[in-house]
Amino acid sequence: MSPAPGNDPRQDNPRVSSPEDTAVGLPAIANSLRVTGESSGAKRGLLTLLNVNKKRGFDCPGCAWPEPDPRHPVEFCENGAKHIAEESTRRKLTPDFFSRYSVSELAECSGYWLGQQGRITHPMYLEEGAQHYVPIGWDEAFDLLAEELSALDSPDGAAFYTSGRTSNEAAFLYQLFARKFGTNNLPDCSNMCHESSSSALDETLGIGKGSVLLDDIYQADLLIVAGQNPGTNHPRMLTALEKAKRSGTRIITVNPLPEAGMQRFKNPQSPRGIIGPGTQLTDLFLQTRVGGDLALFSAFNRLLLQTAEHSPDAIDREFIDTHTHGFDEFARSILEEDEETFWERVLHATGVPREDIEETVAMVLASRRIVVCWAMGITQHRHAVPTIREFVNFLLLRGNIGRTGAGVCPVRGHSNVQGDRTMGIFDRPGKAFLDSLGAEFSFDPPRHHGLDTVETIRAMRDGKVGVFLAMGGNFVSATPDTRATEEAVRQCRLTAHVSTKLNRSHVIPGARSLILPALSRSDHDVQETGEQFVTVENSMGVVHGSSGTVEPLSPEMRSEVDIVASLARRVLGRDDSVPWEEFVADYDRIRDRIEQVIPGFSNFNERVRRPDGFTLPHAPRDKRAFPTHTGKANFTVNAATAPEAPEGKLLLQTLRSHDQFNTTIYGNSDRYRGIHDGRRVVFVNPDDAWELDLADGSYADLVSEFDDGVERRAPHFRVVHYPTARGCAAAYYPETNVLVPLDSTADISNTPTSKSIVVRFETDSGDYAAV
Ligand SMILES: Nc1nc2c(c(=O)[nH]1)N[C@H]1C(S)=C(S)[C@@H](COP(=O)(O)OP(=O)(O)OC[C@H]3O[C@@H](n4cnc5c(=O)[nH]c(N)nc54)[C@H](O)[C@@H]3O)O[C@H]1N2
Ligand SMILES: Nc1nc2c(c(=O)[nH]1)N[C@H]1C(S)=C(S)[C@@H](COP(=O)(O)OP(=O)(O)OC[C@H]3O[C@@H](n4cnc5c(=O)[nH]c(N)nc54)[C@H](O)[C@@H]3O)O[C@H]1N2
Ligand SMILES: [Mo]
């Protein structure tokens, strides 16, 4: 085997410089062009970039932030460009590669190296006991899947995973296939992502989605951005924040880390942004401790209620009386505690000085329109659902739902994760959806709940799920408790992955394994009736088309629609009444059926051809109607709680560097945080470091503290003194997923608690075996 950079943590020697306080500007443009030039060849790269997020181009797979109207000639960002460069690379990963490397050898290689090997060009098969994947024909691959699926005792022995970039069309067919096969086992990446948002918003507002449009961001008087790092993960959002800022919006940032993007922004789309000092985005930075947001928002709410005792206008009584339920109980519970105990608790949970909280509330009182935006810093905690419910309480108090410039804005991750859920990728589908699906396709869908992501891992471990099919994603690296998960996956009879690039999930196989190469968002997709496009739904419920423009690298790659439909035909048989072949021939026919099954898609084919697509209805936003169990917007009582690290331990959050897309690593740097050429770093507050005797530049193992007798260790992390909140630490995912216990999940949503893991630091053990 020629040397392949392995997973040996000792090879990871980051250089550390001061973190930056400004995002984007010239370095970002230079970086985008460098990346595209390197990876896809100049012409292919430039052509691709010019078509991103255009009315007649393809939707950037980089994130779910909406496109503004009018669109800018360069409507992409540095990280979107890296993403597309990864995807539209000219490098091919051919069957040859697999004859050179065995799966055991590949399992020793880093995820970064695996991803760098290029686009997978052929379907590949790993026979039981074999060490090398070999090419397989599509028909044989489908036969094999069909054989294993039909050998199961029950349809619930299969799990159908989805990562959030699958198009609406493919997602709709995929869930239809799973349900016709007989299971609701449709775990997805959302279970690890915004599931907490969906749970909280569904209960309180009646729809598990955000309630704002881009214009609301521009028109808000106050934006609160909590638990999100848009400079890296949603860079185009900074353009929207800048625009809002210029028309007078104020911005409060809530984060344990001072993230560069939220401080100062130099917009590369404007000359001012390129040469000037940039725009100061954050007016007030609340540096909360990890997991302190529930306490923080309850403090805002208490101050608002107390103010209302003498100035009734502090809350919107008319809105509360007309549109909400549960106010009295909520108000009583928030005001219950005596002042001293309340504020002591808030200070302990957040570390935020009371003056800053009072200043926030003064800004709130001066703002008629408020939007709260959030992402993974909020959703991946045990108490994530109550935290988001408390955000809703905060907005309801002043009637900030259902009017311009106001509302909830959970900022989604994967570019079509929201659309996939709309299409029915969900392990707990509602009755109305199943009724409608069953009526349209004349069958009786399974009614019992399926398995979510964490439950799927447990079921694999316990021998209850034996066939695993993944529509994209990188299951073993994205999920918690890497070692336990890998062991569980290996128990499967068959694992099959519809993928574009090689990743760790392919080399941690079940007894048999398949890799099925798919066209990506940027690839040109031609079927029997001609050129096809797909549709996606962004974070704000806008549905629009996406047409790939890049010539596929191999004729063997198939569209996801084709893969799902061909598999469905093979498994369900010739007599199955769903016209699978017709769907592949013309995606309009799939859209016609979506229109019949899912509310809000009337005239789908016509409306999605409009340049800006169309916006799905959202009752709370559109007419202040709340389809909840009470028929009103619900105030909730959320017991005060915050994660605690015992003395000598820290609360670790696992986050993204500037050079990665989830488990896909673009490079080994995190420019804004001053990290270069390495990823095994742990950010620690200098005062904590001093107390724990962790010198800057020293190396330590991170050991997770969870009460189940299992030792979870991530070896060899370079300590970086960094201005994070006291008591907290931060390190990158997925290297730290070994530390997240499978059974440590959020109440209600069951999302792994990837942002609050209690860890202790041990001297570098030298045990690098299982990284
Ligand atoms: N370039 C790029 N873009 C991406 C992705 C990517 O990996 N790379 N991933 C996509 C996906 S799937 C998603 S879900 C999104 C993720 O987008 P983000 O949620 O921005 O991603 P994270 O890096 O996990 O950042 C979490 C942020 O929350 C903060 N935080 C952590 N704990 C807490 C807390 O307890 N309270 C508060 N207030 N803040 C906290 C962290 O300091 C950090 O700033 O981005 C999407 N876009
Ligand atoms: N510790 C920790 N764990 C986390 C998180 C965290 O913050 N901390 N974040 C969680 C979150 S928010 C998410 S969303 C999940 C992400 O979980 P996943 O969605 O499962 O992971 P990704 O890394 O986005 O998947 C990347 C793979 O998708 C495949 N792929 C890329 N493009 C396409 C395409 O167009 N079609 C197909 N078929 N395949 C494609 C490629 O093979 C690539 O290797 O991870 C979660 N895990
Ligand atoms: Mo995500």
Annotate 360-373 with b (16+ C-beta within 10 A) or e (fewer).
Answer: bbebbeebbbbbbb
Quick one: DSSP state of residue 188? Answer: B
DSSP for 684-752, written as a single string:
E-HHHHHHHT--TT-EEEEEE--TTS--EEEEEEEEEE--PPTTEEEEETTTTGGGS-TT-B-TTT--B
Pairing of strands 119-120, 712-721: unpaired
Q: What is the mean pLDDT of residues 368-381?
A: 98
Q: Is 572 exposed, middle or buried (0-12, 13-18, 19+ CB in 10 A)?
A: middle
DSSP for 411-435, written as a single string:
--SSTTHHHHHHTT--SS--HHHHH
Give the closest residue (by CA) to ligand 1 atom 47.
Answer: 233
How far apart CA 202 and CA 389 sit, in angstroms, is 10
Tell me: pLDDT of 316 over 80.
yes
78 lines ligand 1 (CB under 6 A): no
Q: Pick the residue with more confidence: 3 or 682? A: 682
Tell me: pLDDT of 225 over 90.
yes
Quick one: DSSP state of residue 20? Answer: P
Pairing of strands 92-93, 119-120: parallel
Residue 415 CA to ligand 1 centre (angstroms): 15
pLDDT at 268: 66
How far apart CA 201 and CA 408 sit, in angstroms, is 9
Residue 265 CA to ligand 2 centre (angstroms): 27
Residue 72 · residue 269 · CB < 8 Å: yes
Q: What is the mean pLDDT of residues 473-497?
A: 98
Question: Percent of the chain beyond pLDDT 70?
Answer: 92
When the pLDDT of each residue in the chain is averaged and rounded to a whole number, the result is 93
CATH number of 195-410: 3.40.228.10
Question: Percent of the chain beyond pLDDT 90?
Answer: 84
How far apart CA 649 and CA 693 sit, in angstroms, is 12
190 lines ligand 2 (CB under 6 A): no
pLDDT tens per residue, range 235-247: 999 999 999 999 9
Residue 229 CA to ligand 1 centre (angstroms): 5
Ligand 1 atom index nearest CA of 381: 35
Ligand nearest to the CA of 655: 1
Residue 387 · residue 327 · CB < 8 Å: no
Give the closest residue (by CA) to ligand 1 atom 8.
Answer: 661
379 lines ligand 2 (CB under 6 A): no
pLDDT tens per residue, range 254-307: 999 999 989 887 776 665 555 567 788 999 999 999 999 999 999 999 999 999
Q: Are 92-186+423-542+558-611 and 650-763 in the same CATH fold? A: no
For 143-165, the three-class secondary structure string (H helix, E strand, C coil) is HHHHHHHHCCCCHHHEEEEECCC
Which pLDDT band holds residue 77 (cuts at 50, 70, 90)? confident
Residue 657 CA to ligand 3 centre (angstroms): 14
pLDDT at 32: 60
* pTM, to two decimals: 0.95
Quick one: DSSP state of residue 192? Answer: G
Domain ranges of the chain: 15-87, 92-186+423-542+558-611, 195-410, 650-763
Residue 354 CA to ligand 3 centre (angstroms): 33
- Which alpha helices (DSSP H) does 227-326 contain, by range? 230-233, 235-246, 260-263, 271-275, 293-310, 317-323
194 lines ligand 2 (CB under 6 A): no
Q: What is the mean pLDDT of residues 539-557?
A: 94
Give the closest residue (by CA) to ligand 2 atom 27.
Answer: 473
Position of tokens 């659902």? 385
**Would you tell me which CATH number, out of the four given (2.60.120.10, 3.40.50.20, 2.40.40.20, 2.30.30.30), belongs to the domain 650-763?**
2.40.40.20
How far apart CA 602 and CA 620 sit, in angstroms, is 20
How far apart CA 288 and CA 303 sit, in angstroms, is 18
Tell me: pLDDT of 587 over 60.
yes
Substitution candidate for ligand 1 out of 254, 655, 672, 732 with most atoms within 8 A of CB: 655
Q: Which CATH architecture has domain 92-186+423-542+558-611?
A: 3-Layer(aba) Sandwich (3.40)
DSSP for 224-240, written as a single string:
EEES--HHHH-HHHHHH
pLDDT tens per residue, range 698-743: 999 999 999 999 999 999 999 999 999 999 999 999 999 999 999 9
Which pLDDT band holds residue 76 (cuts at 50, 70, 90)? low
How far apart CA 280 and CA 264 sit, in angstroms, is 4
499 lines ligand 2 (CB under 6 A): yes
Q: What is the mean pLDDT of residues 228-232?
A: 95
Q: Pick the residue with more confidence: 381 or 72? A: 381
Q: Tell me phi and psi for residue 535, to 5 degrees.
A: -130, 155
Give the closest residue (by CA) to ligand 2 atom 25.
Answer: 473
Residue 537 · residue 209 · CB < 8 Å: no
Q: What is the mean pLDDT of residues 601-627?
A: 97
Tell me: pLDDT of 383 over 90.
yes
Q: What is the mean pLDDT of residues 590-618?
A: 97
Which pLDDT band holds residue 4 (cuts at 50, 70, 90)? low
Residue 676 · residue 16 · CB < 8 Å: yes
Residue 190 CA to ligand 3 centre (angstroms): 6
Give the closest residue (by CA) to ligand 2 atom 45.
Answer: 478
pLDDT tens per residue, range 18-51: 998 877 654 565 566 555 555 555 556 666 766 6
Residue 571 · residue 150 · CB < 8 Å: yes
Give the closest residue (by CA) to ligand 1 atom 13.
Answer: 413
Which pLDDT band holds residue 221 (cuts at 50, 70, 90)? very high
414 lines ligand 2 (CB under 6 A): yes
Residue 636 · residue 204 · CB < 8 Å: yes
Tell me: pLDDT of 109 over 60.
yes
Q: What is the mean pLDDT of residues 170-195?
A: 98
Enclosing H/E stretch for 545: strand 542-546
Which pLDDT band holds residue 1 (cuts at 50, 70, 90)? very low
Tell me: pLDDT of 61 over 50.
yes
pLDDT tens per residue, range 402-420: 999 999 999 999 999 999 9
| SS3 (DSSP) at 307 | helix
